[in-house]
Structure 1
Amino acid sequence: MKNTGLPYETLTMQIFNAFLNQNEVENIKLKHNITLQGKTTTHQIDIYWEFELANDIKYSTIIQAKDQKSKINKGQMLAFSAVLNDLPNQPRGVFVTRTGYQKGAKEVADSNGIQLYTLAEPEESFWDGSIKTVSFHMTAYVPGMKDFKPIADKEWIEQECEKKGIPSDQYISYSGNTENIFLADKHFKRLCSLADLINNYHSLFQEEFVEKEVREMFKEETFLEANFDNFKYVKLKGLVITLTRKAYKNDFSVDLTDLVGYILKNLSRDKEHIFDKGYNLKKKENE
């Protein structure tokens, strides 16, 4: 497939857009593949960037992106320099390529104030001495409850039934999810939900189990609030809860190479900028 250069130009624009967003300038324009009128002729421009600093003076930069296997030669740099000289207001020049520059190209760039960059995916040598993959073994315990049996204070129930004129041997039923059933103190102030209580009991155990019965007798007056048929509260002596816990095991790996997608090197200033595969600036070196 023929290399049109457009994918590399698009990549360069994405990277510079992310890079420029880190700087305190107001981006006026950042455009790809446009035509500008020069003093003598028109010029196709890979990337055009116009910005404004605090002094309200506008600056423009022309970015040339070349995706080729060989290093940029002197003739290519002279051609780019000629474009810059033909454009009005003398825009700054930036040249970006994958493979670097020949000596003659560097000399032309230095003489004309052109900033030189390389932009490429990291080479395999980049990972020498580094960890590329991290593997994890995770076990997640899912807590649950199979049964909940409140131990009611029968004497209290008999007294309350007598007051209400209802049989004391009636079955006391309740319903609701564990988050809507509460324990309360003698002033009927809520202490915790049944869900909270279950979680507290589960925190006492570390291992996996099918079922585990927990029995607790209350030292202080405790009531169960659950909107019973004839009572909003029932006094408890204690409770019995049958807990369940299932273990779910999972092995997975994290590919750390996703954190380093592209490396932008400013050869003119000996600076390096690392981006992830989403074009996010991750690290600046030599600054």
Structure 2
Amino acid sequence: MANSGKEYEELVRDIQRSLINAGNVPSLKNINIEKNKKIKDRSGIDREFDIYWEFEIGGHTYRSVIKCKDYSSRVSIEKIDAFISKTNDIPGLNLIYATRTGYQSGAKIKAEQHNIQLLVIRDQQEQDWTDEDGTPYLKTINFNIPFQIPPKIFSFELNIDQEWLKSQNTYTAQIIGNVFKTEKSDSIFICNVNNNERYSIHNLSKLLHKKDNNMKYGENAYTEEIENGHIENADSSIKIKIK
């Protein structure tokens, strides 16, 4: 089945539209992209072009036509000559040629002389990943980044220092059970006097990995003995000795 080139024309058109959208130029107005556009030349003859692209910037309208050729070989100088001949009688056009396979050296020279922009639009190939000397470009970067999510605390228990509890008259076991009931986790603090540590229960989850390096993903249990410590509210007006 012969290659009509229609799919390639649509590919080039879609890429052109994507580039315009990605550019996000505020002053670019009245953008119009058409496929199989017919334009009259000086003789009044309709000339059809694969893709027509028109936009306005700074009060001036720019018109471009794109010739799309899905060839299996490089574009020759004769093809460039034919494009020049076709557009000679239509003033004010920017000329663009697009192909998958590249251009012969003569075609490149002729295109440069006539300000024709040459595009190669195709899927990437292995040779795209080497420079002119054959040195490979960096193609893949693999990152191995350790990532830790702070554990979520589902259950939290404190051991009240029973000797301290008996030695004071302010708090009973029942009062202690309710004293922090209305406080948020970031307003309840654990103080380890010997280690000069003070952290909220909310921040405890972030410290658990430091306190236990062997903690694995999944359900864990952590126990810590504090010789000289207490649990308190934010302004330290309430202190309960723990151990």
Which TM bucket (shorter chain)? Answer: 0.5 to 0.7
User: Is 1:79 paired with 2:89?
Assistant: no
Match of 2:46 among 2, 22, 42: 42
Given the superposition, is the C-alpha separation of residues 35 and 145 from structure 1 closer, same or farther in structure 2, using an over 3 Å criterion? closer
After TM superposition, list the pairs within 5 Å mapping 1:5-24 onto structure 2.
5-20=5-20, 21-22=22-23
Question: What CA distance in whole angstroms lies between the structure 1 residues aligned with 2:156 and 2:168?
Answer: 19
Match of 1:127 among 116, 126, 129: 129
Given the superposition, is the C-alpha separation of residues 101 and 198 from structure 1 closer, same or farther in structure 2, using an over 3 Å criterion? closer
How big is each residue's C-alpha offset from its partner over 1:82-119, in whole Å with a ceiling of 9 and x where there is no partner? 332233x4311111112122355345434433222222
User: Is 1:66 paired with 2:69?
Assistant: yes
TM-score (norm 1): 0.58
User: Is 1:182 paired with 2:190?
Assistant: no
Match of 1:148 among 146, 156, 163: 156
Point out the more displaced range, 68-77 or 135-144.
135-144
Tell me by how many angstroms 1:79 deviates. 2.9
Given the superposition, is the C-alpha separation of residues 156 and 28 from structure 1 closer, same or farther in structure 2, using an over 3 Å criterion? farther
Match of 1:28 among 27, 30, 42: 30
Given the superposition, is the C-alpha separation of residues 71 and 171 from structure 1 closer, same or farther in structure 2, using an over 3 Å criterion? same
CA contact (8 A) 1:62 1:92 kept: yes
TM-align CA RMSD: 3.9
Q: Which amino acid in 2 is paired with 1:117?
A: L
Question: What CA distance in whole angstroms lies between the structure 1 residues aligned with 2:6 and 2:184?
Answer: 58
Q: Which amino acid in 2 is paired with 1:154?
A: L
How big is each residue's C-alpha offset from its partner over 1:207-247, in whole Å with a ceiling of 9 and x where there is no partner? 3355331233565772499xxxxxxx9632136xxxxxxxx
Residue 90 (structure 1) aligns with: 92
Greater strand share, structure number:
1
Residue 226 (structure 2) aligns with: 216
Q: Give % identity.
A: 24
**Higher RCO, 1 vs 2 (CA within 8 Å, ≥6 residues apart):** 1
Tell me by how many angstroms 1:4 deviates. 3.2
Question: What CA distance in whole angstroms lies between the structure 2 residues aligned with 1:83 and 1:148?
Answer: 82
Question: What CA distance in whole angstroms lies between the structure 1 residues aligned with 2:226 and 2:32?
Answer: 69
User: Is 1:194 paired with 2:201?
Assistant: yes
Given the superposition, is the C-alpha separation of residues 49 and 42 from structure 1 closer, same or farther in structure 2, using an over 3 Å criterion? same
How big is each residue's C-alpha offset from its partner over 1:11-53, in whole Å with a ceiling of 9 and x where there is no partner? 3234334445548661532413142231332233222222334
Question: What CA distance in whole angstroms lies between the structure 1 residues aligned with 2:205 and 2:109?
Answer: 74
Given the superposition, is the C-alpha separation of residues 81 and 74 from structure 1 closer, same or farther in structure 2, using an over 3 Å criterion? same
CA contact (8 A) 1:28 1:49 kept: no
TM-score (norm 2): 0.67
CA contact (8 A) 2:29 2:57 kept: no
Question: What CA distance in whole angstroms lies between the structure 1 residues aligned with 2:224 and 2:154?
Answer: 12
CA contact (8 A) 2:111 2:117 kept: yes
How big is each residue's C-alpha offset from its partner over 1:237-282, in whole Å with a ceiling of 9 and x where there is no partner? 136xxxxxxxxxxxxxxxxxxxxxxxxxxxxxxxxxxxxxxxxxxx
- Structure 2 SS opposite 1:7: helix
CA contact (8 A) 1:46 1:64 kept: yes
Given the superposition, is the C-alpha separation of residues 112 and 133 from structure 1 closer, same or farther in structure 2, using an over 3 Å criterion? closer
Question: What CA distance in whole angstroms lies between the structure 2 residues aligned with 1:140 and 1:14?
Answer: 39
